[in-house]
Structures are given as structure tokens and as C-alpha cells.
Amino acid sequence: MRNTYPQTSVIAYLLLFVAVLVLPGCGSTAEVSAAPAADAAGTQRAIQNKGSDTLVNLALAWAERYREFDPTVSIAVTGGGSGTGIASLINGTVDIANASRQMKEDEIVEAQTNGINPVEFTVAIDALAVVVHPDNPVDRLTIDQLADIYTGRITNWQEVGGNDAPIILLSRETNSGTHVYFLEEVVRKGNQENKDIFAPQTLLMPSSVGITNELQRNPNAIGYDGLGYVTEHEKMIAVAKNSNSPYVLPSVATGTDGSYPIARALYMYTAGEPTDVIAEYLNWIRGPEGQKIVGELGFVPLPRQE
């Protein structure tokens, strides 16, 4: 039977279809995907990957390079924060959740209640850089000083050897795994009994770009970010565990040898033990090719397994 739809209707449907494809890329999170691919048997192989904004650029690079390695796999990568990725895993809407922190006990329980058993994979290490404006004369701080700065006990740069100027605090937003890590390991100094919180005047930034932009315009600001996101518009601070320890700048080398005191693991979580294409992808990420990309983007590769 001939198609009886008028030509104008066909064109309208085509335009609507294109609009639906374009709209997901208009959000604030990064995303990359390709048309569903198929293997030799005609089976579509697709992975949904979502979460940590710290990991998003690395996850995008992995996805793009893996398409060259195995063109039958389509990988969609979206940011939004560690909490967002973990929530999506709990709800069963992603295959892999990216996180710059470990899942919390209540998140694991919630996932198990939904019939999902999260499995954790360490995929890279991140040296978390403390950054200031390039014109700021302060170039070194201890963990104790950083804790006092971010809780509001120290409020003027003069108190740590800088100019007589108020300290403007910048932090990632609370949904960020980077925020949680900095709170637990710097503000609370790794002490589970410590209940200190960020000072109320702390400005919460939605992204690494937000921190960079604020630092550019405000010479009295201080922030923190993953090493791979630090730009030429920011000065990194050397950090010491305490006043008797050496001050160390963040780098791939100091993150690898453990001398830099603010370094953390980055994770991917799956719903149960991965199989088939997801297992293959994770093995590639944690293998030589995937870890080479880790170093290229300024993160710290996993220790080589002999």
C-alpha cells in the first residue's frame, strides 16, 4: 500500500525527530554518545555512564578512545555529580556510576533494598589541588590551617602570611564527591568524631569552571579542585600534613608516591559483578591503554600490577 501521508507531514515528523535528538545535549552536564552500534551478530552494545564531574572529562576521553578500540560499543557519558550517578545506579537507570567518593552505607542499603548489589572499581587517583589567585603571595599551607580557613576560624590572609585581606571561600556544591572528600579529609582532618562543617559564608560552585572563574576575578579567593582541572589562571598551594611535615605540591608524581597529603581514589560502580561489554570496558579502563589516558589528562594512574 502506498504511503498516504502528505509530504509536509513527513518533513514535520523528521524535524521533530531531529529536535528530540538534539535537546539532551542542551543541558549543563557534559554528554557524549553515538548511534547504537551492533556486533557481528547484530546485537546492540550500549553503556550508560553517569556521575562525578571530577571524572566526567576522563570518562568522556575513555568513551571516545574505546569507540576506536571497539566500534560496536556505544557509550553515553553524563556528569551531574557523584551523588547523581550513585542515585541513578540505585534506581537502575545507569550501567556504571562514576564517583569521586565511596558510596555511603545508607546508599548501599538503599541499593540492596532495590535488588542492586553495588560493586566498586578504583579507576584512577586524583591529587586534589588547593588553588588561589596567581597574585596571592601565600604559597604553602598545612592541613590544620586549611581546616581553620574553611571553618571560618581564620578569616584574613594576614593570619597565614598573606595580605591584609578577607579570605573568600570557594567550594564545590554538596552533591559533589569532591566536596564530601574535602569536608571529611581536610575540614575534619580525617577524624570521624570531628563534626566541623564549612563556614556559612562559603560560596558553593557548581563546577570546576565556576571555581576557576571566581578565582580569576577575586584575588582573595581560595578553592580546591582535581589536579586535572587546574588552569594557568590558578596558583597551586603546597600542602603539608602538619607544621613538622614537608610542603608538597600536587602532581602526578607526588600523587603516585603518596607524598602529597590530599590524594584520593576515583571510582566506578556497577550493579552487581559486571559481565559482557561492561566487564570488557572496565578491564580496558583499568588496563594499560585506559591508564595511559589517566596520565594524559593530569590524573594519577593506578599502580601497575605485576
The DSSP letter of residue 189 is T
Q: What is the band of 207 on the pLDDT scale with cuts at 50, 70, 90?
A: confident
Quick: pLDDT tens for 47-70. Answer: 999 999 999 999 999 999 999 999
> What is the rounded CA–CA span in Å between residue 139 and residue 9?
65
Residues with Cβ within 8 Å of 103's Cβ and at least 6 positions away in sequence, in order, are: 86, 111, 118, 120, 269
Task: Count other Cβ atoms within 10 Å, centred on residue 195.
Answer: 7
- Does residue 16 carry a pLDDT above 60? no
Q: Which residues are paired to 224 by β-bridges?
A: 130
Helix 276-286 with 53-69: angle, nearest 10 deg: 110
Averaged pLDDT for residues 16-33? 37
Quick: pLDDT tens for 71-104. Answer: 999 999 999 999 999 999 999 999 999 999 999 9
Q: Domains in the chain, please, with CATH? A: 126-263 (3.40.190.10)
Averaged pLDDT for residues 2-24? 36
Residue-level pLDDT at 45: 84
Whether the full predicted model's pTM is greater than 0.85, yes or no, is no
Quick: pLDDT tens for 138-147. Answer: 999 999 999 9
> What is the rounded CA–CA span in Å between residue 94 and residue 79?
12
| C-alpha to C-alpha distances, 134 to 129, 131, 209, 219, nearest whole angstrom | 14, 9, 16, 8
- Does residue 41 carry a pLDDT above 80? no
Quick: pLDDT tens for 217-242. Answer: 999 999 999 998 999 999 999 999 99
Q: Which of 77, 62, 65, 73 is nearest to 37 (CA)?
A: 73
